[in-house]
Amino acid sequence: MDFDSATLVSHTISLIRKQVHDQTTLLCERSSFPRPLLSDLTQIPTKDLENRTRSHNARLAVTASNSPADRPYNLSQDWPAAFASSLTSDGRAFRINRPVSAQIPGIKAFDKSRQEIVNISTLPTFKEYFEKFTCGALHGFKFDFGCGVAGGSVLDSLLGDDGQNSAFQDSDIDIFFHDITHKQANRKVRQLERVLRSNDNNYDRSTIIVRTPTTISFTPNPEHRIPGQRSIQVILTIYRSLTEILSNFDLSICSMAFNGKDVFMLPRAIQALHTGYLPVSDYIVGSSPARFLKYGQRGYGTSICSGEHADQDPVPAVFESARLSVQATYKEMKVDKRTRLDRVMGPFVFQVAQKYSNRWTESLQSLARLSAVWEFASGDFGTEKALMISMKARNSFYDLYNEPLPVVASALNAEFMEAFHQMDFINAFTDSDSDCPSTKRFVPGVARVSGPSAKKTCDVLLTATIILPVGFVAAMPKSSRYSLKIKKGTQTVSDDKGIKFQLCDWTIHPSTMWNPSPFHHAAPMLNFLKQASMLTLWAVRRTLLGAPWVDLQFGRTFWLAVQPAFLPFSTTEDRIQQWLRS
């Protein structure tokens, strides 16, 4: 990349506008692809069925169809009709015999915890487990006005988990809204708080309410946490329909929801339940490696099929090469045989990332290396947990500064912090008894406000301070619904290539707190601002930990970070083949 500041701004604005244009084009193209039959989804999968299921999901993500012909399959009627013969003797679950792994096309990864038989709860059993899983926190909440819980918490209850399974203990409860107004959504948030308060006598001490640009979270207070208490997140997006919510999940197994009365699943979720595998799609680039590992631990592997004949398929060779290279990296570390494996996961992940790439899902080769690393940990819960913690901790942007992270010294090297001092990031964030900026108070980039009630938390201005190229604010489309201003008094700073950056404030007014759906014309700008916010936080944390500003290569990092994500509505067979070849 050889940009100056003006070129970077111009390219970024063009990229945002192109996404808006592409979405309009896709709306015209995604006109067919009917819903796959339930009887087909519960057979041994084929490449053709995977393509039809993926294309149907892409159409739902574009059109947000509410047509009866596109409705998600439900647990109350569709499952009993299809699986009546598989009902267990006690009537509490459907016992599903999955195809053996060899019958499923493609190379398999992350599947050591996959089981050949799975029990799917009946609706009454699901409700019982959901009540236990949530510790009764949502008891009495009315899931009306287009409101529901979706994602992993629904899956956990569907599989008969009461929250005690160690693989599910970190699951949050995500609440989504669709087909309602902003005022109705605000009322539902306040109702949710009343319900949580009525179900917890210690609510004021046990719960913290936090608002960010994308969520309102009712988070357990670490000092007064109740055993089993989970974070409940309200997603600050109003979707056009339930199908739009479910079709936009990155992993197919998460495409299920509970609306208080019934459980709904898209065809791709049913296919994943039946096979125990997640067919790979190009939009996994938007998934974090930790999510792959988390669902691998929960029993869901990944299947990668190139569509080529067996003697021409490049996937097996890529996985074998990755396995050998990762094994060689481990041998080079010369780990003492007496050392517990969970204690070397962090250094091991670092060595593999330094040698190859931190972008674990950007290509088939990268995913193959992630799979090879997982092979070392899989089967031992402690080691699996250590690996996932390491993956989350190394959530760096695109491996552009891949140095070991030293412990923060009592006083930071002034040279390393010069850029942020120059941009006026540090002036108000210094403890009185220390030369080191307080990491507890120093949280730029990701704006957060907390308050004693949901209403007060929602009724305040939210400001995120982010690093943007000089000239971006002036070049922003005038029609943008987002308020972005140059931070008063800030100076500019140059990166290693001379590209100039400055601090800007992204202000979110209560009236614009609710974000548009992923296919709205304003969504690309929102995604850009979220990425810029996270990139700012990453840069500041790296610098706090001792990384020189110039070594962050911020211009190049910025350009890669703001590239449009691979989303379900934009996936095509050509793009999947491109991902497989990369």
Q: Write the single-letter amino acid at 383.
A: T
Please check whether residue 497 is in contact with residue 555, taking contact to mean a CB–CB distance below 8 angstroms.
yes
Q: Which residue has the higher pLDDT, 106 or 254?
A: 254
pLDDT of residue 401: 35
Separation of CA 323 from chain center: 26
Beta-bridge partner residues of 278: 302
- What are the tokens at 166? 């160690």
Q: What is the rounded distance in angstroms from the CA atom of residue 151 to the CA atom of residue 171?
A: 10
What is the mean pLDDT of the segment spanning 392-401? Answer: 46
Helices (H) and strands (E) in the chain, counts: 21, 18
Q: Which residue has the higher pLDDT, 54 or 361?
A: 54
Closest to 276 (Cα-Cα) out of 123, 119, 169: 119
pLDDT of residue 538: 79
pLDDT at 566 over 70: no
pLDDT at 458 over 70: yes
Q: What is the rounded distance in angstroms from the CA atom of residue 493 to the CA atom of residue 505?
A: 16
pLDDT digits (tens, 9 = 90+) for 207-257: 888 888 889 999 988 887 777 789 999 999 999 999 999 998 988 999 999
Number of residues written out for the chain:
582
- What are the tokens at 182? 């902003």
- Pure H helices in 211-262: 242-247
pLDDT of residue 328: 94
What is the mean pLDDT of the segment spanning 391-408? Answer: 43
DSSP string for 158-196? HTT--S-SGGGTT--EEEEEES--HHHHHHHHHHHHHHH
Please check whether residue 310 is in contact with residue 404, taking contact to mean a CB–CB distance below 8 angstroms.
no
Q: Where do the domains of the chain lie?
A: 32-279, 315-396, 414-569
Query: In b/e form, how buried is each residue of 307-323, taking b as 16+ CB within 10 angstroms?
Result: beeeeebebeebbeebb
Please check whether residue 499 is in contact with residue 540, taking contact to mean a CB–CB distance below 8 angstroms.
no
Closest to 195 (Cα-Cα) out of 124, 259, 134, 128: 134
- What are the tokens at 229? 């208490």
pLDDT of residue 180: 94
Closest to 229 (Cα-Cα) out of 212, 206, 210: 206
Beta-bridge partner residues of 303: 108, 279
pLDDT of residue 92: 96
How many angstroms separate the Cα of 512 from the Cα of each of 183, 292, 481? 11, 33, 8
Q: How confident is the model at residue 430 (pLDDT cuts 50, 70, 90)?
A: very low
List the beta strands (DSSP E) in 253-344.
256-258, 263-265, 277-279, 301-304
Q: What is the rounded distance in angstroms from the CA atom of residue 336 to the CA atom of residue 545?
A: 29
Going by the DSSP 8-state scheme, the letter that residue 429 receives in this structure is -
Neighbours of 491 (CB within 10 A): 12
Q: Which residue has the higher pLDDT, 131 or 445?
A: 131
Q: How confident is the model at residue 23 (pLDDT cuts 50, 70, 90)?
A: low
What angle in degrees, to the nearest 10, is found between the helix axes of 381-393 and 289-297? 160
pLDDT digits (tens, 9 = 90+) for 156-197: 999 986 555 555 566 889 999 999 999 999 999 999 999 999
pLDDT at 312 over 50: yes
- What are the tokens at 104? 């499923």
Which range (142-156, 345-359, 447-461) has the least confidence? 447-461
DSSP string for 193-216? HHHHHHT-TTHHHHEEEEE-SSEE
What is the mean pLDDT of the segment spanning 497-512? Answer: 89
Q: How confident is the model at residue 85 (pLDDT cuts 50, 70, 90)?
A: very high
Q: What is the rounded distance in angstroms from the CA atom of residue 141 to the CA atom of residue 193?
A: 10
pLDDT of residue 269: 96
Please check whether residue 510 is in contact with residue 459, taking contact to mean a CB–CB distance below 8 angstroms.
yes
pLDDT of residue 397: 43
